[in-house]
Amino acid sequence: MEGEELTHLVTRIVLQLCIILVAAKVAGEISQRYLKIPSVLGELGAGIIIGPFALGGVEIGSLGPIFEATAHIETNPIAVIPTELWVIAQIASIVLLFTVGLETDLKQFFKFAGPATAVAIGGVLLPFSLGAGATVLLGYADDFTDPVALFMGAIMTATSVGITARVLSDLNRMGSPEGVTIIGAAVVDDVLGILVLAVVVGMAETGSVSIGEIGEVAGKAVGFWIILTGVMILGAGLITRVLRWFNGVGTALVLVLALALLGGGLAETFGLAMIIGAYSVGLGLSGTSLPRIIEENLMGVYHFMVPIFFVVMGMLVDVSSMGGVLGFGAVITALAIVSKLVGSGVPALAVGFNRRGAWRVGLGMLPRGEVALIIAGIGLSRGVIDQDVFGVAIMMTIVTTVIAPVLLVPAFKDGKSGRKHPIAAEASEAPPLGSQPDPTSD
């Protein structure tokens, strides 16, 4: 590439990032201040508005379209945006999930692992089954082994840790039995969802449904996740001492983010999405003093990088192409709501919650948020799902994320216990995770 061409490319990317960041922050402010919804939804909407299918595709004098779709859109859906922006967005997703892991209370995560796992399993199996089944029954996939059906099922399994945490924090219910169970279940849910994704990607690439191959893909993914998480937890103390040895301003932050990138790269190598590796690194270090040391600087990086991911995800949506799939989108959205309420709520009844508590747990598991977007983006980038199905996933994500805060507030308003046999001190046993920064708020 000649020097002049390189300069032109860099200039264009810089201008695009400028537009993305401004649009993200303005939309996020409007969402939070006036619409009273998470800023992530504003960022997603901003991406749709400035993307190549809307204002970004409009000719602007000699500059041409700011976000022009390439000629390869039919063979590579991700080509609707510059490769450079897609790479930056993937790095942003690593920062996002690393931050979520770092802000997870490790002791509480293990303490409530049993009930949370039961809730999470139900919140994965039912949504996956209904999502894949509806895709087949409505004619968007040939059968249940079709990669399109499998990917829609995988997208339906997600739960947004960050969005749920923000709502519970605002309600001062993070330390309640429901709050801790929801957060733990959301974390386990994401891990299970990523493992489902690993199996689905493996099946999509091989075109086979061999039990042996599924077991190999799942075994490799689970094994890697357990080993990486275990190494990070066991080595957290040593890693912290090493990082604290450096006196350079920002050195600890940079090296920790390098670990997150390493975890992400290794995860991709072993068949998992990069985000699960980044999350494992953050989870392993969450019990150390590092979060307090790097928190302020990390959130600066977070607020700069993460909105780029959500805007870029929005830019991939062609709203005009969704006209023919609104019915499909409505069905998927309805099933996404019912499947979490039932899939997570019924197991909650079995692990000590009453109907009030089960209702709260089910509502807390509703928002799909960033993980659903990441899974959908992976399916789109690999050519497994098309723009229509991706748009349906975005529609489902937006609706479930909006209604969860609306329904959770009155669910907790009466202040009554959600346990079948409430213990006076049980709500105080768990420290209020809501005091931690919210990874979805800008």
CA distances from 331 to 132, 257, 319, 334 (A): 12, 40, 18, 5
Q: Residue 92 falls within a domain, yes or no?
A: yes
pLDDT-flagged residues of the chain (< 50) = 71-75, 424-442
Q: Do 384 and 151 meet the contact criterion of CB atoms below 8 Å apart?
A: yes
Q: Do 214 and 202 meet the contact criterion of CB atoms below 8 Å apart?
A: yes
Which residues form the domain of 338? 82-435
With residue 317 as reference, give the H or E element that holds it: none
Q: Which pLDDT value is given to residue 305?
A: 93
Q: Which pLDDT value is given to residue 166?
A: 65
- Quickly list DSSP for 230-269: HHHHHTHHHHHHHHHH--STTHHHHHHHHHHHHHHHHHHH
Q: Which pLDDT value is given to residue 19?
A: 94
Q: Residue 302 falls within a domain, yes or no?
A: yes
Q: Residue 112 falls within a domain, yes or no?
A: yes
CA distances from 278 to 74, 101, 223 (A): 32, 8, 16
Closest alpha carbon to 380 in 321, 296, 292 = 321
Q: Residue 319 falls within a domain, yes or no?
A: yes
pTM, two decimals, is: 0.75
Distance CA 361, CA 333 (A): 19
Q: Residue 41 falls within a domain, yes or no?
A: no
What is the number of domains present in the chain? 1
Q: Which pLDDT value is given to residue 433?
A: 33
Q: Residue 205 falls within a domain, yes or no?
A: yes
Q: Which pLDDT value is given to residue 363?
A: 92
Q: Residue 261 falls within a domain, yes or no?
A: yes
Q: Residue 48 falls within a domain, yes or no?
A: no
CATH (domain of 263): 1.20.1530.20
Q: Which pLDDT value is given to residue 275?
A: 80
